[in-house]
């Protein structure tokens, strides 16, 4: 069923909806072919604890997409806590991070992920972020490219395979 934009509502979530956000985050990984056996059995607790801490320390906010009052997608965002010491002034580089963008299968390819991402971008801009980063799944890359995201120079190496040759 194709939807028109007026049927989609994007809104901020509240803490009682954190479990739903965690479930979407889990399902996002499963939809990207991550096997259930590599997911921690306490994934829900881990995610809820992460959200609670991010809300307290990193201006965390999540958004949901509703169609006819039913939640069909979500996205989370927060200040990026960094991988190394941040030696730049906030005016030059205050990074925001978007994660867990998820839309239920039946509602994909209708602009919902784009609207969720735009809401997250607006939140990050409102809290003073100068840039936003995210990690895109193969299916998410076109969405983020359409919003102006550029592929970065991030490189990865699977150390489980390194040195076996």
Q: Which of 3-12, 35-44, 135-144 has the lowest mean pLDDT?
A: 3-12
In a domain, 136, yes or no: yes
Number of separate domains in the chain? 1
In a domain, 62, yes or no: yes
Closest of 60, 75, 56, 64 to residue 127, by C-alpha = 60
Contact between residue 74 and residue 95 where contact means Cβ atoms under 8 Å apart: no
In a domain, 155, yes or no: no
User: What region does 148 belong to: left with phi over 0, alpha with psi -120 to 50, or beta?
Assistant: left
**Per-residue pLDDT at 163:** 82
C-alpha 89/C-alpha 68 separation (Å) is: 44
Closest of 152, 142, 143, 93 to residue 117, by C-alpha = 143
**Per-residue pLDDT at 90:** 84
What are 102's strand-pairing partners? 74
For 105-149, how does the pLDDT look when each residue is reduced to its tens digit (9 = 90+)?
Answer: 999 999 999 999 999 999 999 999 999 999 998 889 999 999 999
For residue 124, the enclosing domain spans 5-146
Residues in the chain: 165
């Amino acid at each position: 069923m194709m939807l028109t934009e007026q049927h989609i509502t994007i809104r901020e979530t509240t803490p009682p909806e954190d479990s739903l956000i965690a479930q979407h985050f889990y399902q996002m990984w499963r939809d990207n072919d991550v096997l259930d056996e590599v997911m921690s059995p306490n994934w829900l607790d881990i995610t809820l604890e992460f959200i609670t801490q991010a809300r307290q320390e990193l201006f965390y906010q999540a958004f949901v997409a509703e169609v006819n009052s039913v939640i069909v997608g979500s996205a989370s965002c927060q200040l990026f806590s960094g991988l190394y010491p941040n030696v730049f002034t906030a005016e030059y580089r205050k990074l925001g991070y978007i994660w867990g963008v998820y839309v239920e299968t039946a509602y994909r390819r209708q602009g919902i992920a784009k609207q969720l991402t735009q809401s997250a971008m607006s939140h990050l801009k409102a809290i003073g972020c100068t840039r936003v980063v995210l990690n895109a799944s193969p299916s998410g890359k076109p969405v983020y490219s359409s919003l102006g995201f550029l592929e970065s120079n991030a490189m990865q190496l699977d150390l489980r395979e390194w040195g076996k040759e």
